[in-house]
A = this chain, B = another copy of it.
Amino acid sequence: MIQIALLGAGRIGKIHGRNAARHPRARLVSVSDAHLPSAEALAAETGAAIRPIEEAIAAPDVDAVLICTPTTTHADLIEKAARAGKAVFCEKPVDLSSARIRACLDVVGKTGRPLMIGFNRRFDPNFADLKRRIGEGAIGEIELLTVISRDPAPPPISYIETSGGLFRDMMIHDLDLARFLLGEDPVEVHAVASALVDPAIGRAGDVDTAAVLLKTASGRIAQISNSRRATYGYDQRIEVHGSKGMIRAHNVPRTTVEVATQAGFLADPVQDFFLERYAEAYRLEMTAFLDAIAAGTMPSPSGEDGLKAQILADAATESAQMGQTVRV
C-alpha cells in the first residue's frame, strides 16, 4: 500500500483525495488544509488523519504527497516534499513563473524523487483513445491539430486577477495536449486574444476569448481556441488531421436523449463542468501516479512537461499582448 498525504482539501483536492482513498493500491493517511472544516469533512469521509502541512510532508508513514494547495505554494511544497523523500503529484501549474519552475525542477532533479504534474486531460478515456489510435497509425502522419476548449462560464474576477491570465490558467491544458498529441515541441507561437465575454475581465488585464497558432520544427501546425463562456456546456474537443485521415474526439453529452419537434432535433448540452467531464480522467491520473510509484518509474506528465507548457503559455501571452509572433 502506498501511503498518501493530501495537501489542500478544496474542490480539486477532494477529487484527488477520494480517488487515492478508494484506490486498492493506496491509503490516504492524512489531509491538510488551512481551512480546517474542509480538512475535517474529507478526513471524516475517508478515515484519514488531519495534520499540519509541514508535519504531513515530514511524516515517516507517508510515501507520496498530493499538492492541491493554491498555485503560489506549489513550487515550495514540491521542493520540501521531494527533499523529504516523497513522491510528488502536483496540480498544474507548478508556478506562474517559468524561472521559478526551472529552479524547482532542479531541486527535485537532485533528489531523484518522482514528480507528476496534473494535466488531467491526457487521461480522459476519449482523448487517450484518440492518442492511442494515432500511435497505431490510424491517420498516418500528423499534419494539423485543432483543440477547442470553452468553459461554461467565466470564473470570478477575483480568481482572474491572480490566475496568471487565460493562457497560463486555461489554455495551458490545451498547450500541453498539443505537445502530447503532436509528439513534437512547437517553435513558433502566434496568439490573438480579446475580452469579449465580460469587459470586467478586460479591465482586470486579462482576456476571455483567445486563439493560438503553433508550428513545430518539422512543420506540423496546431490551432487552439478558448472561450471563458459556452452557453451549451463545457466544450472540449480535439481534431487531428493526418496523411491518411482525420480523427476527432467529440464532446460528451449529458444524456443520449434527443427530442424532435417542429423546431428540429434537440440533443442535450454537453457535460458541465470539469469535475463531471473529467471524473474518469482524474481516477486514471491517480492510478498512473500510483502505478509509477509502485513500478519505481518516473511518472508522466513530468515536471519538464509542466515547464514546457508554461513556456508556451508565456509565449502566447506575449504574442497576444505584442501582436507579434514569438519564437520559443
Contacts and interface: CB of A to CB of B under 8 A. Distances in A.
B195 A219 contact: yes
A256 B246 contact: no
A215 B192 contact: yes
A296 interface: no
Contacts of A106: none
A183 to B, nearest CB: 14
Interface in A191-240: 191-197, 209-215, 219-221, 223, 225, 227, 229-232, 235
B219 A194 contact: yes
Contact of A190 (B194, B249, B252, B325): B325
Residue picked from A146, A196, A252, most chain B C-beta under 10 Å: A196
Contacts of A267: 264-267
Q: Give chain A's interface residue range (CB within 8 Å of chain B).
A: 35 or more
A252 B256 CA distance: 7
Residue picked from A188, A241, A259, A325, most chain B C-beta under 10 Å: A259
Contacts of A229: 243
A318 to B, nearest CB: 12
Interface string A116-129: 00000000011001
Given A129-B257, A190-B190, A247-B258, A232 B323 contact: no
A235 B261 CA distance: 12
A269 B260 contact: yes
A137 to B, nearest CB: 11
A63 to B, nearest CB: 24
A283 to B, nearest CB: 14
B259 A269 contact: no
Given A232-B262, A257-B249, A266-B264, A243 B211 contact: no
